[in-house]
Amino acid sequence: MASTQSPDTLSHPQPGSGHDEPKHTGIWKRPLKPDGLVGWLTTVDHKKIGIAYAIAALFFFLIGGVEALLIRVQLFRPEQELISAELYNRLFTMHGTTMIFLAVMPLSTAFFNYIMPLQIGARDVAFPRLNALGLWTFILGGILVNLSWIFPGSAPGIGWFGYAPLTGREFSPDIGTDFWVLGLQILGIASLVGSFNFITTILNMRAPGLSMMRLPLFTWMTLITSFLIILAFPAITIALVELMFDRHFGTMFFDVLGGGKPILWQHLFWVFGHPEVYILILPAMGIISEVLPVFSRKPLFGYPLVVFSGAVIGFLGFAVWSHHMFTTGLGVVATSAFAFLTMLISIPTGVKIFNWIGTMWGGRITFTTPMLFAVGFIWMFMIGGFTGIMHSSPPVDSQQQDTYFVVAHFHYVLIGGSIFALFAGLYYWFPKVSGRMLNETWGKLVFYTMFVGFNMAFFPMHILGMTGMPRRTHTYQTELGLNGPNMWSTIGAFLLGFGVLLFIVQLIYSAKKGKPAGRDPWDARTLEWVTDSPPKFYNFAYTPVVHARDQFFESKHGQAERKMEKLAPDAHGIHMPDQSWWPLILGFGLFIAAFGMVLLGQPREAFPLIGGLLPEGEFSIWNVCVPGLALTLFAAYGWAYEGPGGYHVHPTPAEVQDDEIGTVLQPGSDPQVDHGPSSQQQP
Amino acid sequence: MSHSTTADPLEELKQTNTGIENKKLAMWAFLASDCMFFGTLISTHLIYRRVYADVVDPTQIFDIELTGISSFVLLASSFSMALAVSSAHKGNMLLTRLALSATIFGGLVFLGGQVYEFSHFVHEKGLTLDGNIFGSSFYLLTGTHGTHVAIGVLWLISHLVHTFTPGHGRQNALDIESTGLYWHFVDIVWIVIFTAVYLVEYLHF
């Protein structure tokens, strides 16, 4: 908040000031302290929540990266025994689980949280406390999954898709699998509440004139991803509940001897799992569609096509899950149908790629670090896409099933795709979030290190896979001819890891010492760049009134009649939500309940810290689980009876003034907006 | 978004891009998601119901008259729920309380029926959660629905208590309406479950 140049400091708005009347309907008063530890733990500000999501996701990203490097160390040379087969299983299970659920998804969510409300000109999301609940359940769920490492029985060794019957009590007796089952359920809650919130926010809280076909592409992809999450996560949640019942209460959902069908797990998992692939890539595509136009200085080529192809990808994503299961013998008709639908998905994906190339074509391209990552994304994602099309053919797939060719494919899509795009987003939006620039020379060093390291690590895996190296085996024999590519792959992996390390150093350094960014360092196009860097806690001092797609660019460089307008707040000021303890408490309630389910039936003496207070015996449902549920219910009532709260902020007159980007509309005036399609502006 | 141009607090909540209140839109999104939860559970049951068709004969276990009556009561409670929403919007607190109480009563009758049914099946008919796969999927599916009804009843009781607190009034109608959406959804799902789990077992072809 350092960038306000107003001399009128007396009336400078502060969070928590301007409370109309201390309303106190709940169990205790709402916390008012805006900063410090209390400020972070009780925050409902979408920007703080976004930053917290990003920090936690990057932390888990490093943990998952260390696990990956340990795997690569073991595979560096043939017939090594640095890591036992058992530990190797745990490492690749936790690596996959961590990277997908705790690194890529929450990093996307960090951008949803921080950027999306700014892009639509809103002051916050529709349900700020629910947003905080999403954050805390994500962090606590991530901790729960990773806690398995320190408990007897260690982490699960079941693979990130946890195929039955390996996950049954008979084959995985340890509680590592229970941590995985319960942790993923908690993470599911985090994703679901976040998505309900984003859907409501995008559909309901757009600035006047910001019609759906003027929405920035990143906001569009947030909306589509949120719909995918709310429709896909129930399948895995129920599958996990069924597995939990199998492990704890003797049901037979996946127990062959009792008539259960392990293949049901595969269907339920991939009904979730394939939309999940698009949950991981669509936000990345949204970021790319923001970065390319800015650094090509051209509007996005074929905007409606990029939007609709995103929606088609999301829709078709629900109809292709069985291509993960071609080798299970689905029958000719089902296999052909799923192969056909899978090939169909390459059409909207190709449409997007051609539109991105069309955006750059004839543009004035500047190769800044975000642009390099974006261009790298297109190239690397295409390689992953090509191998994906190969997999869509069942005969080819049956050769490649469970080989390193598949590992190469999804790492090209997930690192070369998602991670590169998320890094493009981090470099692109860091100046907005921190108010400081990331050094370009360092940035380019990070990009080229990661790019070379990534390709060196994963390209050889194509060859390994075609040579026949199976995935998920902890070593290979010397005479199989797999030595060279494995060695190069390990060297590349360490180079990639070094690149990430350089990035973390740069991030921490620049957050403190980077040179000031100003509000619009890239000459960007969308509304988030209109406001200060970092934005004030109320985002905009006025309500932006939008008259064109890419409104900010239009205001700066377009025709005078298409400039934006600034609807000044009325006498009430700007309404802001109050902070709250309840999201954190409710999250803890769920965490304790889930932990209680993990411990259920375990001998108490094995867990002296928790079981030491109780007489010897086994943990029952009443010991930990039910108290956790009680705390959850208590927090839900505390939350409900806290009342809506809120206070009003009065921006200084200096913040609401006519300037070169727009004129002020007096409060109460009805903004005249046309909702017609936006014509293309002149670059 | 923009501040009120009308004095009516309920109309003010509708001043969104879609004209639908935030709370209601979020509830619709939740119900879309809940459809998938029940869809997964119902699919599981349909896959597993005839694995041991020669061992388990559901028509010998079910008490279709009792379940039919409690289903009727649950579905009828949708009427009193609609009445509660309508009278809350009109600010008629007395009728709201009566209608909420009737809905709670309907939910409790259904839950009582389910508790009786479960204990009857376990103790008299020997259908248990861990005894065979039909029991596993039957109890998980109907139990999840029962949990939904129980949460709904708790929620309705909270509304009923809330109507007696100072400051409660017509402006709280949207909260009751959101609960109403949930309640109707739980009823509609029961129509599907009652058909797919109970009635279908009496078909012989």
Q: Render pLDDT for A202-217 as a digit per residue (tens, 0 to 9).
A: 999 999 999 999 999 9
Closest CA to A240 of A268, A199, A203: A268
Find the Cα–Cα–Cα–Cα dihedral A375, A376, A382, A384, rounded to 10°. -160
Contact (CB<8Å) B36/A234: yes
Number of domains composing chain A: 1
Please give the angle made by the CA atoms of A444, A449 and A452, to the nearest 5 degrees: 120
Nearest to B17 among A206, A237, A637 (CB): A206
Q: Does any domain span residue A642? A: no
- Chain A nearest-CA distance from B35, in A, is 9
All residues of chain B having their beta carbon less than 8 Å from the beta carbon of residue A242 are: 44, 140
Give Cβ neighbours of residue A592 (< 8 Å, ≥ 6 apart).
A624, A625, A627, A628, A631
How many Cβ pairs closer than 8 A exist between chain A and B? 112
In this predicted model, which residue has the larger pLDDT, A277 or A7?
A: A277
Given this model, what pLDDT does residue A583 score? 96
pLDDT band, very low/low/confident/very high, at A25 (cuts 50, 70, 90): low
Cα(A653)–Cα(A94) distance, rounded to whole angstroms? 53
Q: Is A191 a residue whose pLDDT tops 70?
A: yes
Contact (CB<8Å) B32/A230: yes
Q: Is A10 a residue whose pLDDT tops 50?
A: no
Nearest to A264 among B30, B47, B167 (CB): B47
Q: Does domain B9-202 have CATH number 1.25.40.20?
A: no
pLDDT band, very low/low/confident/very high, at A492 (cuts 50, 70, 90): very high
Q: Does any domain span residue A12? A: no
Cα(B173)–Cα(A54) distance, rounded to whole angstroms? 38
Does the beta carbon of A545 lie under 8 angstroms from any beta carbon of chain B? Answer: no
In DSSP terms, which residues pair with A576 in a beta bridge?
A647
Given this model, what pLDDT does residue A23 score? 52
CATH number at residue A118: 1.20.210.10
Q: Is A24 a residue whose pLDDT tops 80?
A: no
Does the beta carbon of A245 lie under 8 angstroms from any beta carbon of chain B? Answer: yes
Question: Which residues form the domain of A254?
Answer: 46-536
Q: Is A28 a residue whose pLDDT tops 90?
A: no
| % of chain A surpassing 90 pLDDT | 82
Cβ–Cβ < 8 Å for A526, A220: no
Query: How confident is chain B (205 residues) per 10-residue block, as mean pLDDT?
Result: 58 89 96 97 95 88 94 97 96 95 98 96 93 94 97 97 87 94 97 96 82
Nearest to A264 among B44, B130, B140 (CB): B44
Nearest to A238 among B37, B47, B133 (CB): B37
Does the beta carbon of A268 lie under 8 angstroms from any beta carbon of chain B? Answer: yes
| ipTM of predicted assembly, 2 dp | 0.94
Q: What is the mean pLDDT of residues A101-111?
A: 97
| Paired tokens of A418 | 């998602």
Q: Which of B3, B35, B37 to mutate to test the interface with A (most CBs of A within 10 A)?
A: B3
Strand locations in A438-567 (E): 543-545, 564-567
All residues of chain A having their beta carbon less than 8 Å from the beta carbon of residue B158 are: 637, 640
Q: Does any domain span residue A41? A: no
pLDDT in tens, A320-362: 999 999 999 999 999 999 999 999 999 999 999 999 999 999 9
Q: Work out the mean pLDDT of chain A and round it to a whole number.
A: 92
Contact (CB<8Å) B130/A206: no
* CA-based radius of gyration for chain B: 20
Given this model, what pLDDT does residue A641 score? 85
All residues of chain B having their beta carbon less than 8 Å from the beta carbon of residue A640 are: 158
Helix, strand, coil % over all residues of chain A, rounded to 5: 65, 5, 35
Please name the residue of chain B whose CA is at the shortest distance from the CA of residue A567: B2
| Paired tokens of A270 | 């991939």
Q: Is A14 a residue whose pLDDT tops 60?
A: no
Cβ–Cβ < 8 Å for A611, A101: no
Does the beta carbon of B151 lie under 8 angstroms from any beta carbon of chain A? Answer: no
Q: Does any domain span residue A196? A: yes
Between the alpha carbon of residue B75 and those of residues A387, A404, A426, B187, the distances in Å are 52, 55, 52, 6
